[in-house]
Amino acid sequence: MRFIAYLLTIYILININTYAVHPLRGDDATIIGTRRFQIELLGDYFKRGPGHSGMMNTAITFGLNRNSDLILTLPYHYLSEAETSFGLGDILLEYKQIFYTGESFNIGLKPFISFGSSDHEKGFGSGKNNFGLNIIHTLFFADFSLHTNFTVLTNYNYYGEKEGNWIFSLGGELALSEKINLLTEFGISNSLSRESNIYPLYGLFGLSYSLYDNISLGIGFGKDFYGSESQSSLTFGLGILF
């Protein structure tokens, strides 16, 4: 169960992204706009051998000004192996600041804090307060965008794991039409185990569809690897921008 719980913890810390690019786990260096408001419902289903798990995130974003957003995420988890359990994960609060905007690329910083609101004994999170910083870079081309994310974060926990972590991801977004985008992403992080030097990896691809100018749908398929262990995932979401 700890393998699934570990992936859920990593996933919630890198999965909060903006309106344009779900189901990518990394973010992009864009802002929703001054005094704009966004709600995202982001669901994920993970399958590993006989066990499976899932997560439903409610992400609420408020555009503070032309260069910054404030994001609150409420995660709800379930885990099913020998038994099935449900519960709230660690609540996440993020502040995204775009400090450079150019014709072909943007650069942003996103500090965040996760609150130990989860039941760590059931594996829904660390159960302790943690914080970190995400450095985001987006390159813009005619019909393609390239997003890089590098995140450093604490991992205070009850499991005896390392208390520091880093995550790097590279994602691409190709416009197939005015409404449909093809998405892909690959990522790597350090191992949280004190006895292992294995680097967890993941890869995913998906599609996003703009139903209306302010409503977006997304679906994606992914694979997580932790040494000889792996799990498949299905992610889906709905974003509404006001």
| pLDDT 10s digits, 50-99 | 777 888 889 999 999 999 999 999 989 887 766 778 889 899 999 999 99
Q: Quick check: 207 and 180 in contact, CB under 8 A?
A: yes
Token readout for 150 is 């590098």
Tens digits of per-residue pLDDT, 159-168?
Answer: 888 899 899 9
Report CA-CA distances (Å) from 205 to 105, 222, 223: 23, 7, 10
Query: For position 16, what pLDDT does the model report?
Result: 47
| The model's pTM | 0.89
The domains located in the chain, with CATH, are 2-241 (2.40.160.40)
Its sign, for the CA torsion 22, 93, 74, 169, is positive
